[in-house]
């Protein structure tokens, strides 16, 4: 497994981005790589970072404004060649069907539960390592 992984975090809310960083810590699991974050507060910044390359997993806030993470996910799954796996942050468990519609690889609810989030992120990082 690679030594470090780059995780893009998209949310217009700095508090949500902080929840993601705190839930992850240095690494989401013992067998997962150390994580470096790229934070984005706008859809344009997300697209710019994905064009630059080197992103291993995207964490998208489904409640973000002006474009929610679900719409952002669907767009990047359509437009980004070899789109990284996406972990979607959803407002409530009943929104899981929307996560499926957006083609997210995994979804967890807000506010971020550190154990649930770290487990989902570690799973996506492991899957990404197997494909790479």
Can you give the pTM of this predicted structure? 0.95
**Residue 1 pLDDT > 60:** no
pLDDT tens figures, 28-72: 999 999 999 999 999 999 999 999 999 999 999 999 999 999 999
Extract the runs of DSSP E, i.e. beta strands, from the chain: 4-10, 34-40, 57-61, 86-90, 106-109
Peptide bond into 111 cis (omega under 30): yes
Domains recognised in the chain with CATH numbers: 4-131 (3.40.50.2300)
> What's the CA gap between 130 and 41, in Å, rounded?
30
State how far the alpha carbon of 37 is from the alpha carbons of 91, 115, 128, in Å: 22, 18, 16
> What's the CA gap between 71 and 29, in Å, rounded?
29
């Amino acid at each position: 497994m690679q030594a470090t992984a780059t995780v893009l975090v998209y949310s217009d809310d700095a508090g949500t981005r902080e929840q993601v960083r705190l839930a992850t810590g240095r690494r989401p699991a013992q067998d997962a790589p150390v994580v470096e974050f790229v934070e984005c507060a706008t859809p344009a910044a997300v697209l710019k970072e994905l064009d630059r390359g080197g992103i291993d997993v995207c964490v998208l806030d489904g409640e973000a404004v002006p474009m929610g993470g679900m719409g952002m996910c669907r767009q990047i799954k359509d437009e980004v060649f070899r789109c990284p796996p996406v972990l979607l942050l959803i407002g409530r468990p009943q929104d899981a069907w929307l996560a499926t519609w957006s083609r997210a690889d995994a979804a967890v609810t807000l506010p971020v539960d550190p154990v649930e989030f770290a487990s989902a992120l570690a799973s996506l990082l492991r899957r990404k390592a197997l494909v790479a």
